[in-house]
A and B are shown apart, each in its own frame.
Chain A
């Protein structure tokens, strides 16, 4: 198994598309930083226009914490989409270039080969999140400085700098679980559809529908709690006044369960399917 993990990692980092994905992620980050640098004050002035008549704000609200929060919001769509494209490509390109046939003409166990892909894809996703977190913290605090975080969810919530810092760190950590789920789903789609374009379209559709369903009330407390699409915003819980650790833990365990089930389904289908 260790050999297969090494091989998957080696292949992943020898392909130019992996670096394009990393550059793409940094590009998104750069756009957020540049937009904030040139237009951030105007935007925040519009948002806080009414409050500024009533309250006195000390310090700069466009600060590192807020920019990191902006970057974190790419977890809704941009980052998972990028992860799904790159991860599904780990298998679809092997189907399309028929290297999968060459692999299984060697004494290699099918489910172990795919499991290695699932593990490497998950680790790669976490690595992307870590890279995004590290660069966003360094660049945002480096360029915009420290400061309190103002977040608009149901209403405006303010967090002092130190409080905001650890909430942002936790949000990145728990957000990576959601991204790993999407990566695993995309690899399972690759098992089913084999072709890159089909897999990308279905993966993007899955992401869009999941995001839409997040806000839909299923009319039942239990379903609202356990449906997979209700679990992908757990990282957002860190920006409520009090952190609901119980809800975060339950959501994370459930999401881990869904990830595992998706993986097992993929392994089962792949093991049963012909390669050819």
Chain B
């Protein structure tokens, strides 16, 4: 479990965080969503002990030499060393098992090839991300913090990373906290979300509840959808086989039912979020 209470942080006169409190339980995947500059990275640096908070407390439960591991922004590795050498070096540094076998297990855990001996500067962003996670997982921490882990990854990379995060939470009962500004991706992996805006947590709760409250419409795709005349009641904007409508979560199942009665098959239904409501509900 990881929690922080009433965290404040200022850089000179700029307020980075104000009265930030949040927690994530064992085996849970929590998300921290915020626009660029909202304070996500500062909060993560404080949780990882890289930056000292002006006030507030951080509590991380777990036993062992290392309670928490993480990646801040991009995985920072020794680019002139190979993946195996990086892992051996970081293991040795903290007195963890640095044997060949242990390094192989660490590589396997994150799905990296065992036969790459070239420097990590040659690796793709996805591979570096995986190696960064392998370094973070050395010494079996109970919590993992990933700051913007999806940036720079292609859809395949995002899918593979999602799977790895699921596995770590379910199989190892690890507490995982992920920050991102890409809410679509976070909503698929996180059970709980906290929304940070201007250094303050403005919303926190179950992912589905937060998304429902902030959904202002849906984008529906399916062949023949432009023929569904009743959608005009919902301020429909059609683009090819997709239509974006203004509708609430309660209305959407009825709309899909009506479409199916008109023999229009829906291939996807994506919520359209009211970002103003999401990031700044007080102002709304």
Check A97/B76 contact, CB under 8 A, given A104-B50, A105-B70, A106-B66: yes
Count the A-B residue pairs with Cβ separation under 8 angstroms: how many?
Answer: 72
Q: Closest CB of chain A to B11's CB: distance in Å?
A: 10
Chain B residues near A56 (CB-CB < 8 A): none
The residues of A with any CB-CB pair to B shorter than 8 Å are 3-4, 6-7, 10-11, 14-16, 97-108, 274-276
Interface CB pairs A-B, < 8 A, 9: A14-B78, A14-B81, A16-B80, A98-B73, A102-B76, A105-B136, A106-B139, A108-B94, A275-B51
User: A11 touches which one: B68, B78, B94, B139 (CB < 8 A)?
Assistant: B78
The binding surface of chain A is classed by DSSP as helix
Q: Does B113 contact A (CB under 8 A)?
A: no
Could you tell me the distance between the alpha carbons of A15 and B85 in the complex, rounded to whole angstroms? 13
Chain B residues near A102 (CB-CB < 8 A): 75-77, 90, 132, 135
Q: Closest CB of chain A to B90's CB: distance in Å?
A: 6
Could you tell me the distance between the alpha carbons of A4 and B95 in the complex, rounded to whole angstroms? 10
B72 pairs with A7, CB closer than 8 A = no
Check A106/B90 contact, CB under 8 A, given A15-B80, A97-B79, A276-B45: yes
Q: Closest CB of chain A to B270's CB: distance in Å?
A: 35
**Nearest opposing residue in chain B for A17, CB measure:** B80
Q: Does B93 contact A (CB under 8 A)?
A: yes
Q: Does B138 contact A (CB under 8 A)?
A: yes
Q: Which B residues, 75 to 106, have Cβ-Cβ distances below 8 Å to chain A?
A: 75-81, 85, 89-90, 92-95
Chain B residues near A10 (CB-CB < 8 A): 89
Chain A residues near B48 (CB-CB < 8 A): 105
A108 pairs with B93, CB closer than 8 A = yes
User: A276 touches which one: B51, B75, B81 (CB < 8 A)?
Assistant: B51
Chain A residues near B89 (CB-CB < 8 A): 7, 10-11
Q: Which B residues, 218 to 242, have Cβ-Cβ distances below 8 Å to chain A?
A: none
Chain A residues near B92 (CB-CB < 8 A): 3, 6-7
The binding surface of chain B is classed by DSSP as loop
Quick one: which of B76, B85, B138 has the most chain A CB within 10 A? B76
**Nearest opposing residue in chain A for B48, CB measure:** A105
**Nearest opposing residue in chain A for B42, CB measure:** A276
**Nearest opposing residue in chain A for B145, CB measure:** A105
User: B94 touches which one: A6, A15, A106 (CB < 8 A)?
Assistant: A106
Check A4/B50 contact, CB under 8 A, given A15-B80, A99-B77, A99-B78: no
Q: Does B52 contact A (CB under 8 A)?
A: yes
Check A274/B52 contact, CB under 8 A, given A14-B81, A15-B80, A101-B76: yes
Could you tell me the distance between the alpha carbons of A211 and B132 in the complex, rounded to whole angstroms? 45
The residues of B with any CB-CB pair to A shorter than 8 Å are 45, 48-52, 65-66, 68-70, 72-81, 85, 89-90, 92-95, 132, 135-136, 138-139
Could you tell me the distance between the alpha carbons of A96 and B138 in the complex, rounded to whole angstroms? 23
User: B50 touches which one: A3, A6, A105 (CB < 8 A)?
Assistant: A105
Chain B residues near A16 (CB-CB < 8 A): 80
A3 pairs with B72, CB closer than 8 A = no
Chain B residues near A107 (CB-CB < 8 A): 65-66, 94, 139
A106 pairs with B79, CB closer than 8 A = no
Could you tell me the distance between the alpha carbons of A201 and B23 in the complex, rounded to whole angstroms? 45
User: A274 touches which one: B50, B80, B85, B90 (CB < 8 A)?
Assistant: B50
A3 pairs with B136, CB closer than 8 A = no
Could you tell me the distance between the alpha carbons of A14 and B88 in the complex, rounded to whole angstroms? 14
B93 pairs with A4, CB closer than 8 A = yes
A106 pairs with B93, CB closer than 8 A = yes
Q: Closest CB of chain B to A256's CB: distance in Å?
A: 29
Q: Closest CB of chain A to B271's CB: distance in Å?
A: 35
Could you tell me the distance between the alpha carbons of A100 and B93 in the complex, rounded to whole angstroms? 12
Could you tell me the distance between the alpha carbons of A100 and B50 in the complex, rounded to whole angstroms? 10
Could you tell me the distance between the alpha carbons of A7 and B89 in the complex, rounded to whole angstroms? 7
Chain A residues near B65 (CB-CB < 8 A): 107
B93 pairs with A3, CB closer than 8 A = yes
**Nearest opposing residue in chain B for A11, CB measure:** B78
Could you tell me the distance between the alpha carbons of A101 and B44 in the complex, rounded to whole angstroms? 12
Chain A residues near B85 (CB-CB < 8 A): 14
Q: Closest CB of chain A to B226's CB: distance in Å?
A: 50
Could you tell me the distance between the alpha carbons of A274 and B85 in the complex, rounded to whole angstroms? 27
User: B138 touches which one: A15, A97, A106, A274 (CB < 8 A)?
Assistant: A106
Check A14/B80 contact, CB under 8 A, given A7-B93, A101-B72: yes
Chain A residues near B76 (CB-CB < 8 A): 97-102
Could you tell me the distance between the alpha carbons of A103 and B135 in the complex, rounded to whole angstroms? 10
Could you tell me the distance between the alpha carbons of A15 and B81 in the complex, rounded to whole angstroms? 9
Q: Closest CB of chain B to A267's CB: distance in Å?
A: 17
A98 pairs with B74, CB closer than 8 A = yes
8 more A-B residue pairs beyond the given contacts A3-B93, A97-B79, A104-B49, with a C-beta to C-beta distance below 8 A: A98-B76, A99-B76, A100-B76, A102-B132, A103-B90, A105-B49, A274-B45, A276-B45
Quick one: which of A4, A103, A106 has the most chain B CB within 10 A? A106
